[in-house]
Amino acid sequence: IEQVRVGIGSDPRIGYSFIYPGCGYGGSCFPKDVHALIRSAEEIGYDAELVRAVDNVNNRQKHSLFHKISSHFDGKLKGRTLALWGLAFKPNTDDMREAPSRVLMEALWEAGAKVRAYDPQSMAETARVYGTRPDLTLCASAEEALAGADALVIVTEWQEFRSPDFDDIRDRLRHPVIFDGRNIYDPALVRSFGLKYHGIGRGEPLVT
C-alpha cells in the first residue's frame, strides 16, 4: 500500500498528506458532507457513483479490523479480550462521532468478546456513549489496557502510541499479535520482537 501511496502522491494535485490507508474515517464533518453530496445529487436526478463509492468503501473499512481479528482467531472470539488503543475518530480530540472504534467494539461485543480500551482524551466520552457494561473496561493507561488481553488493536494514531515498548507488549498479551489499524508501525520491526503483525493493505510476509 505504501507503493500505491507514493505513486498517487507523486501527482502534485494530490500530494501525500491525506492518503494514508487505515480503518476508516469518522467525525462530524467528512461523513456528513459526503452524505449531503449524495443527497444533493439525488435531488436533481444525478447518481453520484464516485461519492457513493467513497461512502461504501469507508463503511467497509470500518469493519476491516474486526474481520482481521476474527480470521486470526478462526472466528472464535467469545470469551476473548481485546486491548484497544485509541477511541476518538482522530488524534487530538475526544470526538467519537462515527468513529471506527465504535464499529469495532460493537462487533466484538456482538461476537462475545470483551474490550479493554484506552484513549488519551476520549475516556469520558466513551463512558457517556456506552455507560457501564461488563464487556467494556476503560483503562487509565495504554499499558493497563494490555493486562489480560489476547491481542492489541491500534484504532487511532495518537503520538504516544508510535514508539511503544514492544517487549512489554509481547510479554503482557496472551497472544503476541498486533492489529495496526493505522499502519503506524514497521511490520518487520514489530515481528523482530516476536509479535505477529496485521496492518491495512500490507499483506502478509512471504514464506520462503
The residues carrying an active-site annotation are 29
- Helix/strand/coil for 207: coil
Cell 467528512 identifies what position?
A: 30
Compute φ and ψ for 128, nearest 5 degrees: -65, -40
Q: Is 129 helix (H, G, I), strand (E, B) or coil?
A: helix
Beta-strand (E) ranges in 136-189?
136-138, 151-154, 177-180
What letter represents residue 78's amino acid?
A: K
Rounded CA gap, 95 and 131, in Å? 16
Q: In Å, how far are 16, 89, 158 from 29, measured between CA atoms? A: 21, 11, 20
